[in-house]
Amino acid sequence: MFLLNFRRVALLSCFCLTLSLHSFSAFSAEALDKTTKTKAGSTWQVVEPGGDTQCSDGSPYKFHVKPGKTDKLFVFLNGGGACWNAQTCDARAERKAYVPRADVAHNDPSQHNGIFDLDNPENPVKDWSMVFAPYCTGDVHLGSAERKYVAADKHEFDIQHAGAANTQAVLQWVENNMSPEKVVIAGASAGALAAPIYAGRAATMFPNAEVLSFADGAAGYRSDQVPQILEQWSVFSPLDKNKYAGFQKELKSFYSFYGVEDKHHPKISFALYDSAEDKVQVMFKKMLGDTDVLVDAIGETYKSLSSQVAPLTYYLASGDIHTILRFKHFYSTEIDGIRFVDWFNKLLNSRFPDVVDCRVSPEKCQTDTVTKP
């Protein structure tokens, strides 16, 4: 993998985690260490890693774990926008472009539906061990920079693009406490862009495990601004220099990482989901200056990835709803008689499903053909 090399943080100052010294193979609530807080009646426990982890405003980072089957692990990288300049990063904005803190409902798995509805008998991961990685750094979980921005009114503010340290803390905790045979690294929106990178990390951590990267709702970002944004977030600084020497100039899009991961971890499987008129992707494409039609950009990404990696499959649904894993339409979305939940269940059970693509009949990609959540 893209082995994330955090020498500068001395393994996140050992994450200040004081990790439990006893075996965590049973992944029971009793095995959670003293950094873990459990809300009364909650299935999810909170881990506060400390160290160099933090949100964009300097507030503490935390993540959530749910005990389950010890051989199956589902790691979810949450979404929540992005910021890369004074306009998009200014927390005073009436409509923020990103989520700046971990201690909000958006970053609480118990507040979501879809795969987080643990009482739904159709939920294919309800019995799995699960880890929910909140997102609060505006850098698609990959940044390693502190930036000072100056707004148009001369207001100055600092942003901690610490997504790499945060997510590495999550995965280090996982590595120290679990030994799964099957691992899914899934991300929604901003998290989707980081999913293949951290799937590679998981493949390094658990070399005998079956690893799947699932990207939910982010295949349309093909802007020429991407290389500059990656630099702004200092995405390349934490990466393994031995593995990525000479690659930086070739990584011109978010999707270039797929080829690198596949090259070093050919056993990783890759899958994606998008909706053809995703209103959030459309909005961010405009912010990035993109003028192409979203469904065409998504199609170009799928085509490019199909030539780079294998195995790869995708589900392109109709409509304008952004992402699917966290919402009720996880269970109701259907194209040509194939429900997404059934397709996803097949994917999880190593029966790699065929591509589902609403473009086979263009009218099926229209907004009015999707069931609203």
Strand ranges inside the chain, DSSP E? 36-38, 45-47, 63-66, 69-77, 128-133, 145-150, 156-161, 182-188, 210-216, 269-275, 312-317, 334-335, 338-339, 356-357
Task: Please say if the pLDDT value at position 337 is more than 80.
Answer: yes
Overall average pLDDT of the 262-291 stretch: 95
211 strand-pairing partners = 183
Task: Please say if the pLDDT value at position 247 is more than 80.
Answer: no
DSSP result, 117-168: -TT-TT-TTTTEEEEEE---SSSTT---EEEEEE-TTS-EEEEEE-HHHHHH
User: Residue length, the chain?
Assistant: 373
**Which segment of 1-10, 24-33, 117-126, 238-247 scores lowest on mean pLDDT?**
1-10
Do the beta carbons of residue 134 and residue 170 sit within 8 Å? no
pLDDT of 248 = 64
pLDDT of 56 = 98
Instruction: Look up residue 75 and give its two tokens.
Output: 């790691």
Q: Domain ranges for the chain, please list them.
A: 7-369
Q: Give the distance between the most distant pair of CA atoms in the chain.
A: 57
Instruction: Note the pLDDT tens digit of each residue in 175-232.
Output: 999 999 999 999 999 999 999 999 999 999 999 999 999 999 999 999 999 999 999 9
pLDDT of 357 = 96
In this predicted model, which residue has the larger pLDDT, 8 or 116? 116
Task: Please say if the pLDDT value at position 11 is more than 50.
Answer: no
Strand 334-335 to strand 338-339: parallel, antiparallel, or no bridges (unpaired)? antiparallel
Instruction: Note the pLDDT tens digit of each residue in 297-331.
Output: 999 999 999 999 999 999 999 999 999 999 999 99
Which residues lie closer than 8 Å to 50 by C-beta, 6 or more apart?
Answer: 13, 15, 16, 17, 35, 60
pLDDT of 86 = 97
Task: Please say if the pLDDT value at position 25 is more than 80.
Answer: no
Rounded to an integer, what distance in angstroms lies between the CA atom of residue 139 and that of residue 143?
5
Rounded to an integer, what distance in angstroms lies between the CA atom of residue 199 and that of residue 207?
11
Instruction: Note the pLDDT tens digit of each residue in 102-111.
Output: 999 999 999 9
Task: Please say if the pLDDT value at position 7 is more than 60.
Answer: no
In this predicted model, which residue has the larger pLDDT, 317 or 252? 317
* Selection from 236, 183, 167 nearest residue 2 by Cα: 236
Average pLDDT, the chain: 87
Task: Please say if the pLDDT value at position 333 is more than 90.
Answer: yes
In this predicted model, which residue has the larger pLDDT, 3 or 201? 201
Rounded to an integer, what distance in angstroms lies between the CA atom of residue 97 and that of residue 113?
23
pLDDT of 214 = 98
* Bond preceding residue 311 cis, omega within 30 of 0: yes
One-letter amino acid identity for 195?
A
Overall average pLDDT of the 36-44 stretch: 58
Find which of 250-254, 319-323, 349-353 is predicted with most confidence, using mean pLDDT: 319-323
In this predicted model, which residue has the larger pLDDT, 222 or 26? 222
Task: Please say if the pLDDT value at position 83 is more than 80.
Answer: yes
Instruction: Look up residue 82 and give its two tokens.
Output: 């992005």
Q: Sorting pLDDT into bands at 50, 70 and 90, what band is 364?
A: confident
pLDDT of 240 = 67
Q: Sorting pLDDT into bands at 50, 70 and 90, what band is 15?
A: very low
pLDDT of 365 = 84
Q: Sorting pLDDT into bands at 50, 70 and 90, what band is 3?
A: very low
pLDDT of 250 = 66
Residue 31: helix, strand or coil by DSSP?
Answer: helix
Rounded to an integer, what distance in angstroms lies between the CA atom of residue 155 and that of residue 16?
34
Which CATH class for the 7-369 domain? Answer: alpha beta
pLDDT of 30 = 42
